[in-house]
Amino acid sequence: MAYLSSSGNTRRVAEAIHSALPDSIMMAMTDVGPLDGYDLIFAGFPVIAEGPPRKARRFLGRARGKKVALFLTHGMPASMDGFESVVPNCRRAAAGCELLGEFECQGNMVWWMPKLLRLYPRGRVRRWAKMSGEAHGAGHPGEEDLERARAFAAEVRGSLTVS
Ligand SMILES: Cc1cc2nc3c(=O)[nH]c(=O)nc-3n(C[C@H](O)[C@H](O)[C@H](O)COP(=O)(O)O)c2cc1C
């Protein structure tokens, strides 16, 4: 399993997935060498600018043809206007892979991010920036998110052994 994480949210989800798959290996995405030999890759990253960060896009390009399950963390609540494009953007970045599923949950935003977003002149990003608390992922990933992540990992793994 390969993950990117700058403030630790996606890493916590990665650890939960790793704990549900005892024979998995967990690595920072940037440390992963050639992908031949891996049957199933869990690839996780934070959502940046409504999609995968560049390093994740590059990694997913390298994973073409492989069985891949995505996991992502994002600051915005999934119910918020604008979120609807996030998961499709991530799926598109994995278009060359055999995508087995995706997991998403909120992740608390670093303190300076809302301040930065407030510089947007207008529109929904600025409105989002002016909110606080759960609107910026406070308290996430929490135990419930991590439990869902473990269940996701087991489900993806199970889907391979059943068929
Ligand atoms: C530069 C930057 C851009 C971000 N852009 C978005 C975004 O477009 N949508 C969103 O929901 N969250 C956005 N976030 C919030 C992160 O996706 C979220 O806090 C994530 O959990 C961080 O994960 P990490 O702790 O693993 O780095 C952004 C965060 C940063 C730092």
Tell me the CATH architecture of domain 2-109+138-162: 3-Layer(aba) Sandwich (3.40)
Q: Quick check: CB of 162 below 6 Å from ligand 1?
A: no
Q: Quick check: CB of 50 below 6 Å from ligand 1?
A: yes
Query: Which atom of ligand 1 is the closest one to the Cα of 8?
Result: 25
Q: Give the pLDDT of residue 29.
A: 97
Domain boundaries, the chain: 2-109+138-162
Residues 42-101: tens digit of each pLDDT: 999 999 999 999 999 999 999 999 999 999 999 999 999 889 999 999 999 999 999 999
Query: Which atom of ligand 1 is the closest one to the Cα of 12?
Result: 26
Q: Quick check: CB of 5 below 6 Å from ligand 1?
A: yes
Closest listed residue to residue 152, CA positions, set 74, 9, 40, 34: 40
Residues 102-156: tens digit of each pLDDT: 999 999 999 999 999 888 877 888 889 999 999 999 999 999 999 999 999 999 9
